[in-house]
A and B are shown apart, each in its own frame.
Chain A
Amino acid sequence: MSMTPLLRVRDLHCSFRVNSGMIHPVRGVSFDLQRGETLALVGESGCGKTTLARALLGLQPPSAGSIQIEGNEIAGLNRVDLRRFRPQMQCVFQDPFSSLNPRKRVETLIREPLDVHQKFAPEERRRRVHLMMEKVGLPADWGRRFPHEFSGGQRQRIGIARALILQPDILICDEPVSALDVSVQAQIINLLYDLKSDLGVSYLFISHDLTLVETFADRVAMMFEGQIVETGPAREVWCNPQHAFTRRMIDAIPVPDVTRPAPPAFRLEAD
């Protein structure tokens, strides 16, 4: 393994002006993401994790600090210069309903990244779209449909296919399952897990749910008030939390209590 990490973030700050003054959601974040690794970024809402994701994706210019992809500095690049690095880092959004253009067919949505970066001949693009649909578990003959014909979980599969068709090294998943039903959440997590070994992509997985990431993240970074307060292998953070915030997060996880008496039987009666 090479010495330079795939993604290196150093002392990143983000601040912006809102109506009531300046806010400073990211305050000096540093971390490395190694090739093939899954790093989970966990924190409560408002801790700056989404702003951090937006900064990494070039949607929100950082006010200070450094973001390097394989040693190339991308913080502060303008959108045209950034375009060269786009295929290396893609993202999956939280809301599967607003993250797909309602007027585009599924095959267009998945092919678009290849069109934008003018990769491959048209025939090859089509082949890859079908291959990708198969990989994320969408029947290939659904390509002519529109996003509104799909459920939330299926839409998130479309989003994942769209993000991965450029074969990025890094996939930033910003709460990719928090808008989905619990049963569908597991399917999407399993899909992401399978795709990781298949495509050799590294994940930066942003979530507020420690139990969710504990199962499949290699490392966990706990974020609190704009800073990373604790990092370490998932199990270690889970079993031996060092920071007070991490302990609070773990304590807040509901645990089924088998010693409590069962509630009285409740019968649903027809009207």
Chain B
Amino acid sequence: MTGRVFRGLRAAGRNWTMSLGLLLLSGVALMALTASLLFPLSPYDMIGPPLQWPGQFDGAVLGTDALGRDIAAGIFYGARISLLVGFASVACALVFGVLIGAFAGYYGGWVDTVLMRVTELFQTIPQFMLAIVVVAILGASIGNTIVALAVVSWPAIARLVRGEFMVIRQRAYVQGCIVLGMSDLRIMFVQILPNAISGVTVMSTILIATAILMESALSFLGFGDPNVITWGTMIGMGRGNLRDAWYIITIPGLALLLTALALNLVGDGLNDLLNPRLRKRKAG
């Protein structure tokens, strides 16, 4: 009896955290969508006196930085970059990682050995260093940041997909499809992939959060696109005023924290939702 109440409470709690995550995430998305409507000027434009605390100056709700730029505008425009970079890089990593993982897991043997050695090569290099190197080689732009983050994100997806494919490949229904004479590509992507995708979905949300944080770190270090403002750029530019005007880095820092938190909450919720054992309990 108490166990059931406890489980019910926990399920409600999980749903509640996922709702919170989705709410926060849609808030960030809304900011990204309305940025140019609410702030028609460039976020790099000076709109008032410098170093105005939040509420101190009428034109800037969240205050201004050392050069008199609107922090609220930076947060709204920065949301665009964060979401764009996060989702685009993970989308690229997904395509690549799923392909590599699917072929390695399905065919096994030397295909698996070769593909996994390459994957491990990428995994052994520290992610952030690799991202810096890629941006340094390609040059600082939004597109190259996306490429760099995709390059560091795909190995994790490839390994996960490989594992799932190796297991599902042995199931009788896959053997049955071979007996039917179905082509390998169709077995891989029509039969196996839909059964392997739940773990990948959960991992993707976490990877998006990681990518957003890494993008900020790159911008903070000055490896970001100099033409667009991002949360990382704002933190980087505000660190000189850390002692007298700490709000300059705290506000974008909070935006980052909440976005990453939201994605993790959604990932956690999806994990419960897509977990076949939990789902079965609900159905039964």
List A102-148 residues whose CB lies under 8 Å from chain B. 102-103, 112-113, 116-117, 148
Are B176 and A82 closer than 8 Å at their CB atoms? no
Complex interface: chain B residues within 8 A of A57 (CB):
179
Are A59 and B181 closer than 8 Å at their CB atoms? no
List B243-265 residues whose CB lies under 8 Å from chain A. none
Are B179 and A102 closer than 8 Å at their CB atoms? no
Are A86 and B180 closer than 8 Å at their CB atoms? yes
Q: Could you tell me the distance between the alpha carbons of A87 and B181 in the complex, rounded to whole angstroms?
A: 8
Out of A86, A95, A103, which one reaches B181, CB within 8 Å? A86
B163 to chain A, nearest CB (A): 18
Complex interface: chain B residues within 8 A of A148 (CB):
283
Are A91 and B179 closer than 8 Å at their CB atoms? yes
The answer to whether the Cβ of A65 comes within 8 Å of any Cβ in the partner chain is no
Give the secondary structure class of B's interface: helix
Are B180 and A101 closer than 8 Å at their CB atoms? no
- Tell me the total A-B contact number using a CB cutoff of 8 A: 53
The answer to whether the Cβ of A90 comes within 8 Å of any Cβ in the partner chain is yes
Q: Could you tell me the distance between the alpha carbons of A82 and B175 in the complex, rounded to whole angstroms?
A: 15
The residue in chain A whose Cβ has the minimal distance to the Cβ of B171 is A98
Out of B176, B179, B186, B191, which one reaches A58, CB within 8 Å? B179
Check A116/B176 contact, CB under 8 A, given A101-B195, A103-B194, A103-B195.
no
Are A116 and B179 closer than 8 Å at their CB atoms? no
The answer to whether the Cβ of A242 comes within 8 Å of any Cβ in the partner chain is no
Are B191 and A101 closer than 8 Å at their CB atoms? yes
Are A93 and B175 closer than 8 Å at their CB atoms? yes
Complex interface: chain B residues within 8 A of A58 (CB):
178-179
Complex interface: chain A residues within 8 A of B195 (CB):
101-103
Out of B172, B177, B184, which one reaches A98, CB within 8 Å? B172
The answer to whether the Cβ of B182 comes within 8 Å of any Cβ in the partner chain is yes
Please tell me the number of chain A residues within 8 Å of chain B, measured between CB atoms: 27
Are A99 and B180 closer than 8 Å at their CB atoms? no
The residue in chain A whose Cβ has the minimal distance to the Cβ of B191 is A101
Complex interface: chain A residues within 8 A of B39 (CB):
none
Are A59 and B172 closer than 8 Å at their CB atoms? no
Please tell me the number of chain B residues within 8 Å of chain A, measured between CB atoms: 17
Out of B178, B180, B283, which one reaches A113, CB within 8 Å? B180
Taking each of A59, A82, A101, A166, which has the highest tally of chain B beta carbons within 10 Å of its own beta carbon?
A: A101
Are B178 and A117 closer than 8 Å at their CB atoms? no
The answer to whether the Cβ of A173 comes within 8 Å of any Cβ in the partner chain is no
1/0 per residue, CB under 8 A from A, across B161-198: the answer is 00000000001110111111110101000010011000
Out of A90, A99, A116, which one reaches B172, CB within 8 Å? A99
List A38-79 residues whose CB lies under 8 Å from chain B. 57-59, 79
Q: Could you tell me the distance between the alpha carbons of A94 and B176 in the complex, rounded to whole angstroms?
A: 11
Are A93 and B176 closer than 8 Å at their CB atoms? yes
The residue in chain B whose Cβ has the minimal distance to the Cβ of A97 is B172
B160 to chain A, nearest CB (A): 18
Complex interface: chain A residues within 8 A of B186 (CB):
116
A95 to chain B, nearest CB (A): 6
B269 to chain A, nearest CB (A): 21
The answer to whether the Cβ of A83 comes within 8 Å of any Cβ in the partner chain is yes
Complex interface: chain A residues within 8 A of B184 (CB):
79
Are B175 and A116 closer than 8 Å at their CB atoms? no
Are B181 and A83 closer than 8 Å at their CB atoms? yes
B191 to chain A, nearest CB (A): 6
Are A116 and B181 closer than 8 Å at their CB atoms? yes
Are B171 and A59 closer than 8 Å at their CB atoms? no
Q: Could you tell me the distance between the alpha carbons of A113 and B180 in the complex, rounded to whole angstroms?
A: 6
The residue in chain A whose Cβ has the minimal distance to the Cβ of B276 is A102
Q: Could you tell me the distance between the alpha carbons of A95 and B174 in the complex, rounded to whole angstroms?
A: 13
The answer to whether the Cβ of A100 comes within 8 Å of any Cβ in the partner chain is yes
The residue in chain B whose Cβ has the minimal distance to the Cβ of A98 is B172
Are B179 and A101 closer than 8 Å at their CB atoms? no
List A157-206 residues whose CB lies under 8 Å from chain B. 159, 162, 166
1/0 per residue, CB under 8 A from B, across A191-234: the answer is 00000000000000000000000000000000000000000000
Complex interface: chain A residues within 8 A of B171 (CB):
98-99
Are A116 and B180 closer than 8 Å at their CB atoms? yes
A90 to chain B, nearest CB (A): 7
A-B contact pairs, 11 of them (CB 8 A): A57-B179, A87-B181, A93-B176, A94-B172, A98-B173, A99-B172, A101-B191, A101-B195, A112-B180, A117-B181, A159-B176
Ranked 3 nearest A-B pairs via Cβ: A86-B181, A99-B172, A83-B181
- Contact surface of A with B, Cβ cutoff 8 Å: 57-59, 79, 82-83, 86-87, 90-91, 93-95, 98-103, 112-113, 116-117, 148, 159, 162, 166
16 additional A-B pairs beyond A91-B176, A112-B177, beta carbons within 8 Å, are: A58-B178, A59-B175, A59-B178, A59-B179, A79-B178, A82-B181, A90-B179, A93-B172, A98-B171, A101-B195, A112-B182, A116-B180, A116-B181, A148-B283, A162-B176, A166-B180
